[in-house]
Amino acid sequence: MAMYHYNLNTFAEVERRYNDIKPIRGSDNLRPLGDRARKWEHIHKVSANKYVLLDELTAEANDPVWRQPLDEAIKRAPVIWTRNPRTGIEKIRIRNGSGQWNHNQRYSFLQRALPRCMDFHVISGKQYVSNHTTKHYLPKTKWVHKQYYDHYALHSRSYHPSCRFTKNDDGKCLDFERDGKSHEQWVCLTERHKEPVTRTKVSPAKKPYRKGIQNYAEWAWLLKDILHTGEHYDWERSRLIKKQCGATLGDPSEFRAMLLDDGDERRSPVAIYIFSEISNYDWRAQRSLLPDDQKKFMSAFKRKIDDLADFIIKYKDYK
């Protein structure tokens, strides 16, 4: 089963490809774009000036609720090509999958179905379409067909809030146009979509512990040459140290209590554990080395304290 790169670059190429494909025998004019065994990747003619490239088979009787009928699939097609018969201006609409999970089939299809001058990228879990040197964020849509929306509404209590859908077009797509006669470069017509990002902020709960954190970090700096052996692969010692740390490695409240108690016997093993987390292995020296600059050491040590004490709050934002 071959996976072809289609990369149809003009409306004329799309039209020609459609006319050159022989429909699958016994189907309702199903025309695969490439390998006929991958018939779910097909092209459909809506009109003389509109074609869609689809990456799924449309619904038939007794099909699962998530499979769309043809008229609905056309609305949310991965790639929609249109042409103005009067001006010759060509437009292409690109759409991601519906729902906040991964849509690997859609990603693969877009990588192979966009015009030759465009690329599709997945970067840090987010999808982009690059047009020459410009990268455009392509968000996932929450627009689904009515049958699926009604099914979701009926079972909404069993879904996570991030999976909520809409039965109306939410505009989560990218539109490009160009003069089909002069073959100028594509121009994006869509305003930039806001990108979701994960930001962090310091918890107000950290304030009473700031002095304890500073004292603990300074104490660790003074004793690092005694406590840190540099034996990176001493698994037995590592297991023993974690055991001596007790609940401080898994319970932020225990770790916070340790920060305020200079006499807590777990302070030494916890410091050794943090050393192992912030050190880097030097292949030439054959041992793990801590930052030799005090500011860098203190910064790395305190960041790990924030992590173990749960002083950093992560939240979703947009840019």
Does residue 77 share a domain with residue 38?
Answer: yes
Domain boundary among 140, 160, 193: 193
Together in a domain, 75 and 176: yes
| Domain with 260 in it | 201-318
Tokens encoding 183: 């073959």
Sheet holding 187-188, edge to edge: 31-32, 42-47, 50-54, 79-83, 89-95, 173-179, 187-188
Residue 143: DSSP 8-state:
B
Residue 160: what pLDDT? 52
Residue 177 lies in a domain: yes
Our measurement of the distance from residue 63's CA atom to the centroid of its chain's CA atoms, rounded to an integer in Å, reads: 30
User: What integer pLDDT is reported at residue 154 of this predicted model?
Assistant: 61
Q: Are residues 264 and 136 in the same domain?
A: no
Contact 274, 305 (CB under 8 A): yes
Amino acid at 32: P
Choose one of 193, 210, 241: the last residue of a domain: 193
pLDDT in tens, 280-315: 988 887 888 899 999 999 999 999 999 999 999 988
Of the three residues 154, 171, 193, the one that is the final residue of a domain is: 193
Note whether 143 and 98 are within 8 A (CB): yes
Report which DSSP code applies to 166. Answer: B
Strands 134-137 and 173-179: unpaired
Q: Using the Cα atoms of residue 32, residue 27, residue 78 and residue 101 in order, give the sign of their dihedral.
A: negative
Q: Are residues 113 and 172 in the same domain?
A: yes
Q: Is residue 5 part of a domain?
A: no
| Cα 118 to Cα 4: distance, rounded to the nearest angstrom | 16
Nearest in space to 109 (alpha carbons), one of 88, 127, 134, 90: 127
1, part of any domain: no
DSSP codes, 89-118 = EEEEEEE--BSSS--HHHHHHHHHHS-TTE
Q: How far apart are CA 146 and CA 183, in angstroms?
A: 38
Question: Which pLDDT score, from 0 to 100, does residue 44 have?
Answer: 95
Q: How many domains does the chain have?
A: 2
- Residue 287's pLDDT is 84
pLDDT-flagged residues of the chain (< 70): 1, 153-163
Short-list 105, 287, 313, CA closest to 204: 313
My answer on whether 132 and 236 are in the same domain is no
Question: Does residue 220 sit within a domain?
Answer: yes
Kindly state whether residues 30 and 177 are assigned to the same domain. Answer: yes
Clarify whether residues 261 and 169 are in a common domain.
no
Same domain, 63 and 164: yes
- Res 155: pLDDT: 62
Cβ distance 51 to 45 under 8 Å? yes
Q: Are residues 110 and 219 in the same domain?
A: no
User: Within this chain, do residues 64 and 209 fall inside the same structural domain, yes or no?
Assistant: no
pLDDT for residue 299: 95
Listed residue (40, 33, 97, 46) closest to 74, CA to CA = 46
Q: Is residue 23 part of a domain?
A: yes
Task: Give the H or E element holding residue 223.
Answer: helix 210-227
Q: Which among 279, 266, 274 has a CA at the least distance from the CA of 301?
A: 274
Same domain, 22 and 159: yes
Rounded Cα–Cα distance for residues 243 and 270 (Å): 10
Q: Tell me which H or E stretch contains 70.
A: helix 70-75
* Residues 239 and 278 grouped into a single domain: yes
Within-domain flag for 34: yes
- Give yes or no for a contact between 43 and 4, defined as CB atoms under 8 angstroms apart: no
